[in-house]
Every structure is written in structure tokens, then in C-alpha cells.
């Protein structure tokens, strides 16, 4: 049974993860918060979650969808409790959610820093804590998501990269702490991923710079997540893995 957060648009990474885990036979609890997308330049996907749930159920997957704001400190534990209540257990946590914010140093506000850290960093840590507490037997899989801030400067997104950098750095510590219980913790950097947010000029420029000649697709990140939560990845923990077609390898970092 898997809980996947950050599922609000059918064309984004969370939905791709849900489809891939469903194809692998998982029962799913999907969590999203569409008001965040509605406030972004790319917009939300009205009816998208309902359509995704219907699609997955038509394929035979048992799936439940939840919506709530992870900026509320009580929500992470409530989401895990709801997941366990839905299916009686929780084996996999994929913390794919993210709050985006375009603020440079000159634009930076305390309010945006606070809410971005609350959603991206605090909520993720509280989700992991609740997941670990809910496990009554050895084993389990946790997958976090970072971004490309450790491969190149992103000065226009300071709250976002600060919060994502924290998740990158905390991954080894969580992995070591949970390893005696057989729970693996890894972190994915999906690189430039075409989820519908980039304009045509950006799409072309980035594709030309990626060694493999294209943007990442949500399915690429989903394939890596599917492997990390599988039995085959039971010996892999504490790792931050870039799935980016060689984007990060250009500078040798």
C-alpha cells in the first residue's frame, strides 16, 4: 500500500507515479492540494484528480484521494492515519509534493520562507515520522524529492531551493536512523521535467542542453520511484539520485 503526495494534475509527476505503482499492483492513497496549482502560472487541473481516480479504478486499482493543505502542521499525521485507515497498513511513502515560489533575494519575504519550509520541509519530515510510527513490522520504503539546486544556481527561486536543499541533506540521516527497521529512505531529483510549466523558448533551450536531447518526462521519474520502492532496491538507502538525462553531468558534478 502506497501513499503518494503531490497528486493534483494529470500531467505531472505525482500522477505518473500513481499510474506506475498501480500498474505494479499497489493499492494507493493519493494526496494533493489544487489551490497551490491554481495560484501558479501553469494553473490547476479542474477535475483532474477525480479523472485520475476513475482511470485507476477502471484498471482495477484500489485508490483513495485526499485533499488538504500540508502547511497545517496537523495534516501530515492525519494523512498517514487516513491512509492506514483506508487499507489497514502503509508500506510506501512517496513525498512528491512541493510548493513553488519565484522569489529572488530582493523579493524575499519571511512569509514565503515560512510557508515554503512548512510545506516542503516540515511536512515531509512529519510525514516520514508518521509513516515510521505506523509501521508495525520491519521494512518499508520512503522516497523524497529534491530539485537541481545542488547542480547549479537557481537564484530566482530561493525559498524553493532552500527547502529542497534541506530535504537533500536530511536524506542520509533519515536513512541511517530507519535502517535498523529495514526502512529505506532515498531522494529523487527529477531534473528538468516537462509537466506543463515551461514556455516554448525554455522547452527548446533546455532540450538542446540536455545530453540526451530532450526534457525528462513524468514517466521517467515514476520509473525510478517504482524501482526504489521495489524489493530489488532493498539494499539502496540514503541516496540522492538524479534522473535527468545527463543534465547534471554536464559540469561534472
CA distances from 247 to 14, 114, 178 (A): 21, 30, 31
C-alpha cell belonging to residue 100? 513553488
Pairing between β-strand 63-67 and β-strand 92-95 as defined by DSSP bridges: unpaired
CA pair distance 212, 202, nearest whole angstrom: 16
Enumerate domains of the chain plus CATH numbers.
2-251 (3.40.50.720)
Check: CB of residue 39 under 8 Å from CB of residue 20. no
C-alpha cell belonging to residue 132? 515510521
- 213-250, pLDDT tens digit by residue? 888 899 999 999 999 999 999 999 999 999 999 988 88
pLDDT at site 19:
98
- 137-156, pLDDT tens digit by residue? 999 999 999 998 998 899 99
- Catalytic residue of the set 145, 160, 215, 247: 160
This prediction has a pTM of 0.95
Check: CB of residue 160 under 8 Å from CB of residue 197. no
- The reply to whether 160 belongs to the active site is yes
Amino acid at each position: 500500500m502506497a501513499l503518494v503526495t503531490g497528486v493534483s494534475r494529470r500531467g505531472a509527476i505525482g500522477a505518473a507515479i500513481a499510474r506506475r505503482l498501480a500498474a505494479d499492483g499497489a493499492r494507493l492513497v493519493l494526496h494533493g492540494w489544487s489551490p497551490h496549482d491554481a495560484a501558479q502560472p501553469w494553473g490547476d487541473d479542474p477535475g483532474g484528480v477525480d479523472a485520475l481516480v476513475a482511470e485507476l479504478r477502471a484498471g482495477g486499482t484500489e485508490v483513495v484521494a485526499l485533499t488538504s493543505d500540508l502547511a497545517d502542521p496537523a495534516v501530515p499525521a492525519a494523512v498517514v492515519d487516513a491512509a492506514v485507515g483506508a487499507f489497514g497498513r502503509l508500506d510506501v511513502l512517496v513525498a512528491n509534493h512541493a510548493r513553488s515560489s519565484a522569489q529572488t533575494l530582493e523579493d524575499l519575504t519571511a512569509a514565503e520562507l515560512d510557508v515554503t519550509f512548512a510545506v516542503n520541509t516540515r511536512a515531509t519530515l512529519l510525514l516520514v515520522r508518521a509513516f515510521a510510527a505506523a509501521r508495525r513490522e520491519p521494512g518499508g520504503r520512503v522516497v523524497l524529492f529534491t530539485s537541481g539546486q545542488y547542480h547549479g544556481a537557481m537564484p530566482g527561486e530561493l525559498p524553493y531551493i532552500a527547502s529542497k536543499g534541506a530535504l537533500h541533506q536530511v536524506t542520509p540521516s533519515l536513512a541511517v536512523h530507519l535502517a535498523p527497521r529495514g526502512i529505506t529512505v532515498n531522494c529523487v531529483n527529477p531534473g528538468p521535467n516537462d509537466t506543463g510549466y515551461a514556455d516554448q523558448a525554455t522547452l527548446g533551450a533546455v532540450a538542446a542542453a540536455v545530453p540526451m536531447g530532450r526534457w525528462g518526462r513524468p514517466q521517467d521519474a515514476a520509473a525510478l520511484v517504482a524501482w526504489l520502492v521495489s524489493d530489488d532496491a532493498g539494499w539502496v538507502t540514503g541516496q540522492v539520485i538524479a534522473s535527468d538525462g545527463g543534465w547534471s553531468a554536464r559540469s561534472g558534478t
